[in-house]
Amino acid sequence: MITRRAFARHVGGVVSAMPWAGEAFLAHRAMARVVPRSGMISLDSNENPAGPFPAALEAIKQGAADTARYHFEEFGAFAERLARSEDLKPDQVLFGVGSSEILSAAICAFTSAALPMITAVPTFEIPMEFARSLGHKTIEIPLTGSWAFPVKRLAQEADRAGGGLIYLSNPNNPTSSLTPNADLAWLASNLPANTVLLVDEAYIQFTDPSRVTSALDYVRRNQNVVVTRTFSKIYGMAGARVGFGCGRPDLVRSILTFKDNVIPILGLRAATAALGEAAIIVPKRRAEMTRIRGELCSWLREKGVSYIEPHANFLMIDIRRDVRSFGPAMFRKGVAVGRPFPPLDQMLRVTIGTDQEMARFRETFWQVYSA
């Protein structure tokens, strides 16, 4: 496993002043998306190569002509269906155009120029960038030595600031690591006044259920906690753009102030259909991804390459050289991999794809690594 002494040296205090250095790489990837090259494989965005569930695909095919209208009349039933799937009441859920929309609306609701957005890095950077773009206050501290969110320090920062929104991704993107259940339970029960904890569970269905407790438990107990979930990852519907948030009714109402609660009708229908198959397909997909990821980990160990122990459908590999040249070198050979996540400048994030894609990844990775 990876020690992170160097990481700690880099992070303390300087991250908030450091520009995110991944722009060129992001632009590079965006170009590739605009002009797709034949045979290119995408292991860069933590998507799911299995795609939509069969019933979801059928709902999309059947519903094409219904895109003529908004279908507001279906939205209430969708909220009820989502609530039932998580053992909540309809007024404890809201849905959005991907979970991204819920994250953005929550940032609008619970942060300001005075009330900060607080997180530990590296993590999914878009929410912090959004808060910054609004001119809202942001606070970043480093993850712990075992790549968990340092819950006591997050609470201290919120206390010092007089409240705010704590963002915690579990499992975390990009490190694929978990924050221990006991730490999360402590934070949910020890939030300073005026503080909301937002737990982003975009990848939680990929995690061994015996290792993780969903923060939905704290929502059910009416704590100051909001949980976001998405149909983009294990459900394989990133392009359908459906996500949802869960929280106490008053928190849900605050977030709803900043969004219209309208999503594409085909996404709504596909998500509804997918929920009907979830009990069978979600565990199967988790098992399949875990097998493929395990094979990659074994191969890396054989090659003497270290990585962070993964709990989601992606893996952070210690490449011991600058990812800013390694990523583009892989890209030129037809394998798109994750963007840089400063300050982990020598780590490469790879999404777990199909067996064939991972065979191609291994071959290309080794060519670039041993060059």
Per CB under 6 A, residues contacting ligand PLP are 46, 98-100, 124, 169, 173, 200, 202, 230, 232, 238, 243
Which residue from 153, 142, 146, 99 is spatially nearest to 120, judged by alpha carbons?
Answer: 142
Q: Nearest distance from residue 370's CB to ligand PLP, in Å?
A: 30
Q: Nearest distance from residue 98's CB to ligand PLP, in Å?
A: 3
Query: What are the beta bridge partners of residue 249?
Result: none
The β-bridge relationship of strands 164-169 and 195-200 is parallel
Strands (E), the chain: 41-43, 93-96, 117-121, 138-142, 164-169, 195-200, 225-230, 243-246, 314-318, 335-337, 347-351
**Residue with smallest beta-carbon separation from ligand PLP:** 98
Phi and psi, residue 119, nearest 5°: -155, 180
Q: Nearest distance from residue 371's CB to ligand PLP, in Å?
A: 30
What token pair was written down for 216?
């939905």
Q: Which residues contact 351 (CB under 8 A, 6 or more apart)?
A: 42, 43, 44, 45, 46, 47, 313, 314, 338
What token pair was written down for 150?
């340092």
Q: Nearest distance from residue 261's CB to ligand PLP, in Å?
A: 16
CB atoms within 10 A of CB 317: 25
CB atoms within 10 A of CB 179: 25
Bond preceding residue 343 cis, omega within 30 of 0: yes
Q: Nearest distance from residue 124's CB to ligand PLP, in Å?
A: 4
Which of residues 243 and 343 has its CB atom nearest to ligand PLP in the complex? Answer: 243
Which of residues 192 and 228 has its CB atom nearest to ligand PLP in the complex? Answer: 228
Which of residues 243 and 353 has its CB atom nearest to ligand PLP in the complex? Answer: 243
Mutual orientation of helices 265-302 and 355-369 as an angle, nearest 10°? 50
Which of residues 96 and 142 has its CB atom nearest to ligand PLP in the complex? Answer: 96
Amino acid at 158: A
- How far, in Å, CA of 205 to CA of 208, rounded? 8
Which of residues 192 and 243 has its CB atom nearest to ligand PLP in the complex? Answer: 243
Q: Nearest distance from residue 15's CB to ligand PLP, in Å?
A: 18
The β-bridge relationship of strands 347-351 and 335-337 is unpaired
Which of residues 4 and 339 has its CB atom nearest to ligand PLP in the complex? Answer: 339
Q: Nearest distance from residue 349's CB to ligand PLP, in Å?
A: 10
Which of residues 165 and 368 has its CB atom nearest to ligand PLP in the complex? Answer: 165
